Structures are given as structure tokens and as C-alpha cells.
Structure 1
């Protein structure tokens, strides 16, 4: 049988994909790594089919490795007898805890099949909420900005885990970026905030992102711009009309 990594999307139960919903409903047991993801899961499956895994709040690498080994030891036997879902917010392969479980299963339980069901990532939710268009040919980098970090370099960045917005903001502005923040976008828990003022979101919240764009960035004109008649004589640019 199979362990499915299921992307739940940004946090609204209505944004789970059709396939993700089907996998959740069909799985013999569904695990989730946190309260928010569990609240989305229980909109689709009864709590009686939701399993418990213990993940300590620590940065100690050995404690974390032990926790993931324990999680894999819990999940693997269930997957040998049936289908198991491990559900995370966003997409399972984008800044997700599912990667830890997948690698641990590969290392210690290689006989267990693992599949990924994509979800709406926080990047997509963020650009939608802000009305940001990442047009064809544009570069977009993903960076982590926890504890006040201010990564720089790319012209456009989406920053995850902005837990100290004022400190991050100061570094980005000094480096020549315009910055917009989004907190708890498309989530059913907590207040959604979109702002350019880091003071509005100074309180630490793991579910805060930022979009940073260089102030000097040259943007392309609209696709149809060169076809618009700006001369007033009814001719398109570079085209001379005859009688």
C-alpha cells in the first residue's frame, strides 16, 4: 500500500484539490503535523480516522531526527496494511514537513511506497491575495526569512516564515526593495492581513510571508501596448496606411 503526502492548500478547506480530498476520504488513517492542518483535515474526514504524531518544538537536530524516526515507525506498519495520508498545509514539496517523513521512510522503510498529491502552495495564495502577476519570463525566488533575516539578490522574492517583520523590512528596504506582507492568507483560523507596514504585523506569527521586489526593476509594457494607436491618425506603430 501507500503513504500519500497530501497538500491541503493555504488553510481554507475549500482550497483542497479534488484529488487531495479523494485521497483523504479513502485513506485508512490520516496524519497531520499541526493544529491548523488537522483542522482542515477534519473538514473532510472524521476525527476517528485522524492519527496522532508527536513533533517536539525544538531546533535540536538529534531530537528532530529521533522524532521523524518515531513518526516513520508509526506510519510504515499502517502503510503496509492499507493507505495512509500525511497532510500538510500548502504543497508537500514546498517548504513542507512532509519532506522529512519521505526521506526517513526512504532510509529506514524502503519497502513503503510514497506518492505526493500536490496542493495550492503559499506562493500561489500570496500572489493571488496581493494581485501580483509573475509574468512569462520573470524570475521569482523563494527564500526563508525567519528571525529577522533579510535575504537579498533576486529581483523578485517570496519570503516564508517572516517571524520578525520589522527587522526583515529594514534589511530589505536598505537593499532597495519594496515589500508587501501577507499573514494567514486564505486561512480559516486567525485574521488575514495584507500590509506594507511591518509595524502592523510586528507580533511573531509563523504564517507570515512577504513579497519583495526591487525598486529599480524595469517592467515590460502590456502585451498589446505596441498595437495601440497613439498617433491619432488611425495607424498602428510602424504601419503607414494607404488611401
Structure 2
């Protein structure tokens, strides 16, 4: 009897992994922390098998700890009796609500068996959506950029939670970066938008990311060399 933390991917139901799909279809109950993950899970499970958990959007640590503990108290007995899934967009171990639940279960219900099923993350799928190639040997840093933050330093960055794109853009341009944005990439919920114009993203949206690359960065990607009349 196991609790499975299942990554659903960025939001399109057909980007759920085969393993994730199989476990969802056989789970006795599937817990969802929000409406977006719930809508993806419903592609594979009946609505009466979905259980909701309350994870308040607050920075009040006491309220958060109380919510995590209450959620663990709901999930733990079910996971002792049968197979239970907790679904989350993206990957369960990458900036995910599941991490709070896992740590709380380990602290108060350590007998519960846990297994994590990785999911496609928008922070890797961005390269396909934005037409970016990160070649072998290149460095890429992951940064949070909520509320207009403009992290700088690395030659290449993927920024997530870009909730104030115009402010973030201003700081990055001043620091010498070229920037491209993607909103709701590979998501069925809402309109996907890809742009290098931050004014198109004036409306705040948690599911916005950016790729920033230094303007003076010299990239020499290896290629196969060919000669006319044959190849080497």
C-alpha cells in the first residue's frame, strides 16, 4: 500500500507519463491540490475517485504548517489501506506542493510508503516551446523571478513565476540580457503565449517563465562537417 506522488507535466493531459497514467488508473483515490491538476487527472480517473486537499495560498507559516499536517492526517490512513495518488503539475520534486506533504508525512507518519513518479516540467519543456537549444556543455541556471525580480549573473537563465514581466524585463535588459517569455506552455488551461515583448504580459500570471541569455554570449555549437562530393 503506497502513496504515489505523480507529476502530471505542464498541463496537457497527453504529456502525463505512461507510468503516471497507469498508476492513476489503478489508484483507489487521487488527491489534487488545485483545480488545474484536478482537470488533468480527470482525463484518467473518475470524478468520484478525486479527493481535494486544502493548501492555502498564504505566507503565514503557522497556517501553512497546520494545513500540511491536516492534509497528512487525511492521506496517511488511506495510504495504509490502499494505493493513493497525489497529483501535481510539473514534477513532484521541483517547486511542488507535494514536497510539503512528503516532509510532513515523514515527520508524523513515517510508516507510510512513498514513491515518486517524475513528470515533464515546464522548466525543461520551455526549450521546445521557445525554440531554444541548450547545447552540450552549456550552463543553464534556474531562478525564481516573482514580483518583478531580475536575477542576474549566469550567462543563461530560465526564470519561473515571472508575475511582473515588465519590471523583470527592465532589470534584465539593463544587465545585458536578451529575454523571451512563455506563458502557460503546454497547458490546456488558458491561452499559451510566446513573446519577447513584456507589455503583452502585463497581466500577472503565475505560469509565466522567461529565458534570458547574455547579449554578448558567443556560442559555437559543434556540427558535422561535410565536403562536396563526399563526407568526412
Q: Determine if contact 2:135/2:221 at 8 Å carries over to the other structure.
A: no
Larger radius of gyration: 1
In the superposition, the TM-score normalised over structure 1's length comes to 0.92
Give the equivalent residue in structure 1 for 2:40.
40
- Measured after TM superposition, the shift of residue 222 of structure 1 is 3.7
- Measured after TM superposition, the shift of residue 57 of structure 1 is 2.0
Q: 1:84 to 1:197 in 2, by over 3 A?
A: same
- Measured after TM superposition, the shift of residue 15 of structure 1 is 0.6
Give the equivalent residue in structure 2 for 1:212.
212
Segments ≥4 residues shifted beyond 4 Å: 234-237
SS in structure 1 at match of 2:68: helix
Bigger Cα displacement from structure 2, 213-222 vs 22-31:
213-222
Write out per-residue CA displacement over residues 19-58 of structure 1, whole angstroms, 9 at most, x where no aligned residue. 0001111111101111111000011100100001111121
Bigger Cα displacement from structure 2, 193-202 vs 91-100:
91-100
1:26 aligns with 2:26: yes
Write out per-residue CA displacement over residues 66-118 of structure 1, whole angstroms, 9 at most, x where no aligned residue. 11111111110100001110100011111111111111111111111111101
SS in structure 2 at match of 1:101: helix
Give the equivalent residue in structure 1 for 2:74.
74
In the superposition, the TM-score normalised over structure 2's length comes to 0.96
SS in structure 1 at match of 2:72: helix
1:1-243 equivalences in 2 (<5 Å): 1-224=1-224, 227-229=225-227
CA distance in 2, matches of 1:217, 1:13: 37
- Measured after TM superposition, the shift of residue 143 of structure 1 is 0.8
SS in structure 2 at match of 1:51: strand
Q: 1:80 to 1:171 in 2, by over 3 A?
A: same
Q: How many residues are matched?
A: 232
- Measured after TM superposition, the shift of residue 170 of structure 1 is 0.7
Structure whose residues are more often strand by fraction:
2
Bigger Cα displacement from structure 2, 215-224 vs 51-60:
215-224
Q: Which runs of 5+ in 2 are unaligned?
A: none
CA distance in 1, matches of 2:230, 2:29: 66
- Measured after TM superposition, the shift of residue 228 of structure 1 is 3.9
